Each structure stands twice: as C-alpha cells, then as structure tokens.
Amino acid sequence: MHLYVANDYQELSRRAAQLFIEAVSRKPDSAVVLATGDTPMGMYRVLTEHIRAGKLDTSQLLLFQLDGYLGVSLDDPRSLEGWLVRSVLKPWGIPSDRFVRLPEDATDTDLVCSQYDEAVRRIGGFDLAVLGLGPNGHLGFNEPPAAADAPTRVVSLTPESLKSNARYWGSQEQVPRRSITAGMDVLLQARHILLLVSGERKREILRKTLFGPVTEQVPSSFLQLHPNVTIFADRAALPDEAALSRSS
C-alpha cells in the first residue's frame, strides 16, 4: 500500500485527482467504480474543472455505481445514484450508456446484483476503484463481517453506518436500513484501488486498515493484501504509527 499524506482536505483532493488524471490519460477507456459520500467530492470537483478546461478526456470512460440504498427511487434526495449523477455524470458529461447502475429501486435484487457482477466480469474487472472509508471499515456498503470474496448483494446497515450516514440526511431515522453494494470480490479485483480518508474521526479505522489484523470484521483490512492500493489521507486522519512509517 502506498500512503500519501496531505496537509489538508484540499491538498488530498488535488493529489487524488492528479492520480486519477494520470490513470485515465494512460487508459482513456478505463472502467472506474466511484464512491459517493463526502470524502471524494473535493476530488470530483477538481476533476470537473479539468474536464471543463479540456484537460481530461472522458469520452471513453465507463463508470460504475459503487453502492446505494435499497428501496429508494431515483428522484428521492437520498438516492446515491442521484448523488453520483449530480456530482459526476452530469458535470463530466457521461451519458447513461457509459454508466452501470446499481438500481436502488430494484425488486429482483438477486438478478440486478448478478447482472452487475457479470458486467464487471465482461469488461475484465475495474481498472480503478475510488473508495471512501466507513468508520466501521466498510468499503462501499460491505458492512462487517464481509468476506474478501463477497459478491455484489443486499446488506443491512450496521448501527455505526446508520449513525455516520445520518449526517447526510439530517437524522438516523432518515437513513434507509438496507443497501445494495458492489461486492468485496469485484472491488478487491480492481487493478488499482484509490482510498480517500479525511478527518480525525477516521483515524482509528485508518489505523486498523493499515496495521490491524486482516479480518472480515474490518473489511478495509483486506486492502493490505492487494498489490496496488494508493491511500490519500490528510494529517487529521493520520494515526501515529503511520506518521512514523509513512512512505511520503
């Protein structure tokens, strides 16, 4: 794992965007799975500026939704697909035929989950996964315990995720109880994983992610076994151990 430490959130967003630009410039038809949540929004905004300035060509990019809340329609303000449409697809000019959804309003969830995994398999896996870090170590909504080979599926949110997601929607009561998430299997098979971690409240889970035992109880700990993970953390999120041993 490569750990880059930024002074603050702005720097983290700029450096992560730079890595994204380099990856997509090398392979313009990259298949990329993108998180919502607060942390990657700064990076997406930097990328929007580059795209609008004509400095990044997105005409061949294929994007995948990472996760969503089950039972939420697209026009519900809590739809994570809607969030991705507003923050990425529209500003980047990505048409719907280059976006693979995880439909939050699906009734046959087994079918849509297997179709998603099949779509990822057909294109040969993700080139890049842009992920945030849940306070319980979830990646997407792979809530603990999550096996490294867990498929794309429906998952009940843990109390920790209900609590941390409450800040998006005003209260815990507003947070849907179930989610649909890209599985650990397809995420860990991504050729390059970019993990963005910001703020003091992530310090303890970043410590477990980097230095704790590899365990289903901390899904992000499986990143220790992946050959190509880049973590961008700001100083506030940096555990003491990482400050001593960090690579940059």
Closest of 168, 232, 181 to residue 206, by C-alpha: 232
Q: Is 138 in the active site?
A: yes
Of the residues 81, 104, 127, 143, only one is catalytic, namely: 143
Query: ∠ CA 78-67-202 to the nearest 5 degrees?
Result: 85
Q: Check if the beta carbon of residue 174 is closer than 8 Å to that of residue 213.
A: no
The two structure tokens encoding residue 228: 């190509």
The contacts of residue 173 (CB under 8 Å, 6+ apart) are none
Q: Is 136 in the active site?
A: yes
Binding mask 77-116 for ligand PGA (x = CB under 6 A): ----------------------------------------
Tell me phi and psi for residue 141, to 5 degrees: -110, 35
Q: Does 176 bind ligand PGA (CB under 6 A)?
A: no
Q: Check if the beta carbon of residue 129 is closer than 8 Å to that of residue 187.
A: yes
Q: Does 39 bind ligand PGA (CB under 6 A)?
A: yes
User: For the chain, what is the largest distance between any 2 Cα atoms, rounded to a whole number of angstroms?
Assistant: 49
Q: Does 38 bind ligand PGA (CB under 6 A)?
A: yes
Minimum distance between the CB of residue 49 and ligand PGA, rounded to whole angstroms?
A: 20
Q: Check if the beta carbon of residue 131 is closer than 8 Å to that of residue 188.
A: no
Stretch that binds ligand PGA, among 13-21, 34-42, 82-90, 232-240 (CB under 6 A): 34-42
Q: Check if the beta carbon of residue 194 is closer than 8 Å to that of residue 16.
A: yes
Q: Does 13 bind ligand PGA (CB under 6 A)?
A: no
Closest of 102, 111, 92 to residue 65, by C-alpha: 102
Minimum distance between the CB of residue 164 and ligand PGA, rounded to whole angstroms?
A: 6
Stretch that binds ligand PGA, among 37-45, 122-130, 149-157, 209-217 (CB under 6 A): 37-45
Q: Does 220 bind ligand PGA (CB under 6 A)?
A: no
Stretch that binds ligand PGA, among 21-29, 73-81, 130-138, 225-233 (CB under 6 A): 130-138
Stretch that binds ligand PGA, among 9-17, 69-77, 126-134, 142-150 (CB under 6 A): 126-134
Q: Does 134 bind ligand PGA (CB under 6 A)?
A: yes
Q: Check if the beta carbon of residue 35 is closer than 8 Å to that of residue 131.
A: yes
Residues contributing to the site for ligand PGA (CB under 6 A): 37-39, 132-134, 138, 164
